[in-house]
Amino acid sequence: MKNIERNDPVLRELSGFLRTEPIVTARLRLRPFREADLPELCEYLSQKEQQRLAGNPPVDGPEDARKVLEWFMNPSVPQSYSAIVLRDENKVIGNLTVGRYPFVDEDKVLRELRGVSLSYVLNERYWRRGLMTELLRAVYPVLFEKGRLDYIQSGYFDFNDASAALQRKLGMKLWTEGEWESNGERIRTIEMILFREDFERNPVFRS
């Protein structure tokens, strides 16, 4: 994700909230990253399939992972990076990022509204357990309410069927399509969006 202005008030407010008030669900906790998270971060960032779906190369060992961790923990970066912790194992199994994709600021509709882009990755060992659905059902209401947002935007690569199904389950709708270059290859991206009025009507967030 390309950096945006570091003084963006929406991201500054939400980053501060997520650092001080962790989100907890039945199985998960969302909290800031810590130095001790390095081995678990390295574990999932080194997974080839998980990183392919995220559009990144796998990290090459702990030193590469440490650079990522330092970025995640840097309070001056414009995005907010939170560790996804499996409560039963007290283990970091992924991360959630609140930021804004560059195309949003170029979109004549979205640039006039108050919103964020949301992305996430999860350790392959914990796929197909409904964990991301559980987490996002808790995260979306917090972001909409605490951030007073007009929309939440997320995207995925066109071959990522799991993310496509998850975002549709949450009521997100197609907004636009684009391209991303990864390892010299152009990949089609699908950009989805959930506006506040659709969020408020969606029973997924009320049960």
- What confidence tens digit (pLDDT) does each residue in 81-107 have? 999 999 999 999 999 999 988 888 889
Q: Hey, what domains does the chain have and what are their CATH numbers?
A: 9-205 (3.40.630.30)
Contact present, 80 and 6 (Cβ < 8 Å): no
Rounded alpha-carbon distances, angstroms, from residue 176 to 85, 92, 162, 168, 190? 32, 32, 19, 15, 7
What is the tens place of the pLDDT at every residue in 121-137?
Answer: 999 999 999 999 999 99
pTM, to two decimals: 0.92
Instruction: Specify the pLDDT at position 139.
Output: 96
Residue type, 78: P
Q: Give the Cβ contact number of residue 83 at 10 Å.
A: 23
**Parts of the chain with a pLDDT under 50:** 1-6
